[in-house]
Structure 1
Amino acid sequence: MRAMTTAEGETERQNCRINILGPITAGVGDDLVEVRGQRRQAVLVALALAAGQTVTRERLLASVWGEDCPPTATTSLRVLISQLRKVVGEELLETAENGYRLAVTPAEVDALVFRQLADHGREMLHQRRYPAAYETLQSTMELWHEPQWPDHGALWEESSSLANTKEEVELLLAEARLLAEGLPPDIATLEELTQRYPYRERAWELLMTALYWAGRQAEALGAFQRAKTVLREELGLDPGPSLVDVETAILNQDPRLDPPSPATVNLPRYATEFIGRHDQVAELTDLAVHRRLVTVVGLGGAGKTRLAVEAAGAAAEDFPDGVVCVELGPVADADLVPRQIGQAVGTVAETVDGIVTHLGSARMLIVLDNAEHLAAAVAETANALITECPNLTVLVTSRTPLQLQAEVVWPIPLLAVPENDTVEECQRSDAVQLFLARAQTVASGFHLDQDNAAPIADACRLLAGHPLGIELAAARCGALSSSDIAKRLRTGGAMEGAEHDRPERHRSVDVALNWTTEALTTAQRALLRRLAVFQGAFDLRGVESVCLVSPVTESNLVDCLDGLAKSSLMQVDRESDRCWYRLLTPVHGMAQQMLEKSGEAPMARTRHREAMRSLVQDAGDGSHQAEAPQLFARVDAYANDVRAVLDQAGCEDPAAAAEMCVQLRQYWTSRRSHHEVLRRIESLLEHRGAISDELLASLYETASWFHLDNGSGVSSVKEAALKCLQLRERIGDAAGVATAKLLLGAGVSHGGDHERAYCLFNEAQSTLEHLGHDSGMLRAGINAGIAAQKLGRLDDADTHLQVALSAAHRTGARALEALVLERRSYLAAERDDAAAADALVRAAHQIRVELNDPLELSRSYWSLGISALVSKDPTTATRNMLESMRLAQEHRLTDAWWIPGLIELAAVLMMDQGSLLAATRLLGAAESLRSRSGLGPNQQTVPGLDEARRSLEETLGADTFGSELSLGAAQTGPVALRRAQEGFAHVSV
């Protein structure tokens, strides 16, 4: 046997097969090897029959030699085990303390599968699931081959047991065929069975019954006489009570012996076609067959009844006593529930006890449709029925569960909507197929094409795949275009149905949803309407922040959430160990209307606004801590809500909006949201009179930072930094002045004046050291160190970075600690200390791996690539570079300031592998990106880049070199990264 190795390095065993019925073989898949030699066969059979359990040496010796065990048997057994290991594999045949173990499952041994299928078939026959039993028992017999193993010693009992099971299966199969609806009596096979097994009275009973059903009563009685003769003459026994009972029934033409009548299937019929949902029908059918009580829950108009009816029809052959549907919608009085069920199952009984007496052990499926308004009475009745009637199954449709222990709650999914607007994707969507089917009933010739695919897909997505909503919308195709329908849905336009045969509760989506909410408790309705303030997904913490106002309390909140989820009013998405909730589009619209009517809208919106501001503040406070990724991920989840609060505050409370923008600085940086934040700041600055000087200075600081990080140009960086500086000088904020000088210095540095930049950074660091401002000292030290390095003052640079590193340790700013280590690695590289450079860059990378910030990780792999190149390890350098590129593209970081340096690293590596033209084009792309972003010279890049440029120009010639540079300069960052990756497609990462 062979094993596979997973990506994580763990060994994963392939499924094997051990066949001991017929020729004895073992192997993986179809790669089977015949096991020869009676003794080896006996050992393998004994181990296989134990399937994963230890077989003692004594048992194995008895299986091989029986009672005539020679003195050398123990030694011979070890030899046999060794030989078998070469066949089945070392990893499967294990040595245990007192024996051996074959590490296989029963499903991998044909004889054990045979027994298991026989048990399943017997149970199905006992449950009167005749067609299913017939199919299962047929599959069982297909596995049978006469055992060819030695039948002495301990294996004789096993062989005899299997032979008995095989005889029983043959009889069970004959019985299942006889009883299965639609299969005529196979009298010839039954005659043959009585010849082969003349002492098995069940074979004679089946033959007599089949002859009687075929109208051959005299022959049936003659078969009884033959059986009696065989039993008396050969065994000296009289026929048993069961066989005599069959004879008596034939003589009396007892109705008990009549063939089973076809099951009564009394289910609603529909004039319209059932669209899609094949997997859902199969899943619900399987539940109906194997579970006793299943409740289909979901929104009004989600298709619960139609789906339940389809599943019940598909399951009908497993219920020989019938399938019936009980419509509870018109029933207003809970006391009438038993009476309604009684009428459906064919009894005048009006009590549960009367129905139980009537049904007895009948194997029947009862569908109780539209039970939500009678939930308590239906729950009591259903529980009593499945408790007292052992073979009864109840399938319920309801907008809320019955809350019973035996109940399987099955929330009905809405229809799958298209992921994009292509015709091909729409053709795969059940939601679109329903739209088309309904549209074609009102607009002859309506079909899907390139022109209407997008609006139809849009309409289905706006309705979240809600079947009733889709039907009502598509019914308007007689008067409106698909684009008009989508536009009305987007603006909240209602769609109503006018068909006379449409139930009142399905006249519109709003009516259907209101019908659903009527089944909710007061607290559940309050929670639902308050959740309308969320623009997207929300978690438990968000719900607690916004909705915990009476009648929603801490004690009933979980029950309320559970009720909304089980009613399918709220969708639950599980992400790792957390749950996120969302209201489907139609439900969200209804909940908003409920909120407005309730008078709670101002309260709910205020609490929502406060929750979002608290979320943003947490993200700002923890932006440089280890928990930053988790905090930022939470902001991601609430992105639409945060934007909505920002939009509202921008109009009503500019100061609050400004504060949020400042707090979101690091989050927006990591998400590359530069254009959004600069647009918001520009809008807020139009209301600067409503913003305090302190906050206004922070807003200019934030703007300066984003201009800097976005490469908006040196002038924009300096302009915002100067305004920040002036405001902070006016209010006497010394630490703030130093921070503004840091930004101004960065702008000056990007303009190429590193001497002046270094002075500004030095001034800022001195001020911040005097104030004991650790976080400021950290940033000042980093900037001063970078500037000193650009000026060639490596010792000064290292001194500044050491100060920054100490500040990073004191503040716990791990991301900035990694940056300091990275910068120190560049200094070590310039000093030709490759070992120190490599150690520093790896220490920085380890921190970034722990923080798991894609932006920092991408840059870290770039640094690792540079370090590997300096260490003359181009293979490792290439792998790190490609990983950096992958992260940059996957997380849309292609505008980061260091992307030109990453492309330059690719150019040098490409040059080393001889791709000179491609390398030159990458250099052109990097140079152009620096120029377009407003970045000045002396940005961090690959050591020895100037020498590489000169070498390329000399080798290619000035004209070719210049031409290729120009071609590269036309490339955008994403295109240049793709070209670089294509050049290293042969490298496995």
Structure 2
Amino acid sequence: MGGGMVAMLFSDIEGSTQLLRRLGDRYLEALEDHRRILRAVWTAYGGTEMGTEGDSFFVVFGTAGEAVRAAVDGQRRLAAHRWPDDERLRVRMGIHTGTPGVFDDDYWGMDVHLAARIGASAHGGQIVVSAVTGQLTHLPDGVTLRDLGTHHLKDIPEPEHLLQVIVDGLKADFPPPRTVGTSTSLPSPATPLLGRAPDLGRVTGLLERPDVRLVTLTGPGGAGKTRLAIGVAAELTSKFPGGVYFVPLAAVTSAPVLWTTIAEALDIPPRERGRIVAYLAQRTLLLVLDNLEQLADAGKVVAEILEGAPHVKLVATSRRALGLTGEYQHPVLPLPIADAAVELFVQRAQAVRPAFALTDENTADVVAICRRLDGLPLAIELCAPRIRLLSVKELLARIDQSLDIASTSTVTPERQRTLRDTIAWSYELLGPEHRRTFRCLAVFAGGADLAAVEKVATGIDPLDALAELHDANLITVFDGPDGTRVRLLETIRRYAADELHATDEDAAVRGRHAGYYADLAEMIEDTKKTTSDLPVDRAEIDLDNFRTALGWATAHDLPTALRLCSALAWVWIVGGYLAESRAWHEQIVAAAGTTCSPELAACLRGFSNVLFIQGEAEHAEEVAARSVEMARELGDPAGIAYGMTVLGSMQGQRGNAPAARATLTEAVERLRSLDDEWRLARVLNHLGGIEEELGNFEHAEKLLRESLRITESHGDAYELAIVGQNLAYLLTLAGRLDEAGELARGLVPTVLAIGSPTLTMAFSNTVMNILLRRGDPVRAAHLFGAEEAMGERLEIPNPHLDEELAEALELVGDTLSGEDWERHRQAGRTERVEELLDRLAL
């Protein structure tokens, strides 16, 4: 295999985990058909198959044209094939042409990574190619290229121009590519940017100046600040090689959550602010911080970013300036009445009444309506849909009545008063029950599904009430993963909150909200025990509601706060929200004081786990011991057993294996008497690890296999992966490498699908040990370095690092020099553990 220019194609099946769940045993039949079809295509066009893992391919072709024709032919054959149970198997493909390096009959280098990232950006059934591939390809008949624009691909420093291959007869329309930090990652506005050309020119011009770091768009709610900020960011995508990131902050009310939200937008693990600033300091990028006015410490956060990250620029939207040195303000004024405001009114009116048009008879009244609404985009968007029921003249009369009554106020600033009147006008048109429903919606943060609305509002038909509110443009409705969800624009939500606060039902509504989300958190936690897919995504959908419920309950309903904190502990750990988890635990435990309750004991168990992961093993053991003591005081047999499970694990992690064995053995006996199989499986797993540490391999294997059997019967994918990797490690230490490798190989898809950082690192360590004992020190060194870097990145300390390194070097022996081990270890630090595991053949 020689060097030179080649075309690299990456493909995989979109949604393979869901497909496996639907097809069951027939999934293997579909997978084999998929491989047979594509391998025939690769061969026909001269492709060389470089790697096949699960449902993915890495194939190299001599020319870009051959690769594109192979992809086209492959998609056609896949589309024409009859799949089991009439399923539709969707394969995504990405192609890049370059000159990768060649080493040991394999390709490596940035061109390979770029091709893989392009493949990952595509959707099932779609072919995405790099610009150079498009330039070098002579397209066959029936095939064209569509420009997808410039995109920032994860871990690729420079933006890449992407193209889609359009094939006659196949699906051509897909969502934007799965990329980060480009205009395609910005929200997709529902309306065009009307009348903002001068604003757009000034703000983009300011940000292109080297001396300007911060521009704040100020103005009243509903003036269009967010829409202008999105337009500015889209214009400047190519100016920031590190990307353009939109950070929505409407539901954020504290500086710690602001830092977490910025980290999420940057696609990095939630961290303390110093680490986030350090990350930003290495990059040239644009941050759009949207809706800052509710954050008292927003100015401090922005100042810290500006001071610590010299190549980062920011666009902020806020009703008021941040008051920082070097801040440039840009007031977002109402739309010009005669053109942009009227054009927006017409567009929104036509959305509900397609035949509506400006005429000589209605133009003056439309202009008068826009003038009475001060040209505020939100006010116009609330008002114009009433054209479905009213004539323009009738609409103008209603607006005049409401606005004239309220215009006498001298307390509220004029534009804010006008917008408030506009919202009040729509609110007053509702019937009493619909007004009550609208007020209740104020307690939701980040949206809510219909079940939540029905529970919190009580006594309503949610479909009827929400249809009325939607017609009044007081809510937006969108599709969530589990069905319809409802959201209020933040300005409208605040109006609703004011109305709710003025009633005597405020506390009751917020109490129902907290209770509902405590029930939901516990339901999701129970689902985790019996599902093959860890429901982290489901929990994260309502993360802002959980935060809101926690904040209210901590001050007003401590038992509910404790329930929430306990039920969400696993979400925070698996999702990587460790700093936030610790903050909630500390706040709620402090609020509980000397309280003695089962809920507090459960909260302490979760707190102990968080402390341990953060490297505070001694503190973690103290907290776990407190939970056991509290359960004993309460005479709670289940709480004692659960607490002893955590306490024993902490004792073992601190090196006190005899104490851990005694504690966990008692926990096992208690759980057997309680007939709690799910928790019994977890304790058996922990006890198996202690017996392994004590050298009792046979007894350890017995315990782990019993744990595995129980876990499999419950279908808990997360625990199944944990126990499975522990058993694989035990088999490795026992010298049964073939069994260990087979078990680990089967666990790779599950571990990668779950995505838990702590599980991934533990599993990586097991695989590394298998490789070392199999005489494969090079790949072991890469994995060692990648795991080491991942722990540093996520701030998950490894107190046994030196010990593990010494053991690894002892196992390597003379098969690899110390210099070569270190070189491969450092190379591994630049790679991702997940990608190394995905490529490994055990």
| TM-score for both structures, normalised by structure 1 | 0.43
Relative CO higher for 1 or 2, CA cutoff 8 Å, sep ≥ 6? 2
| TM-score for both structures, normalised by structure 2 | 0.50
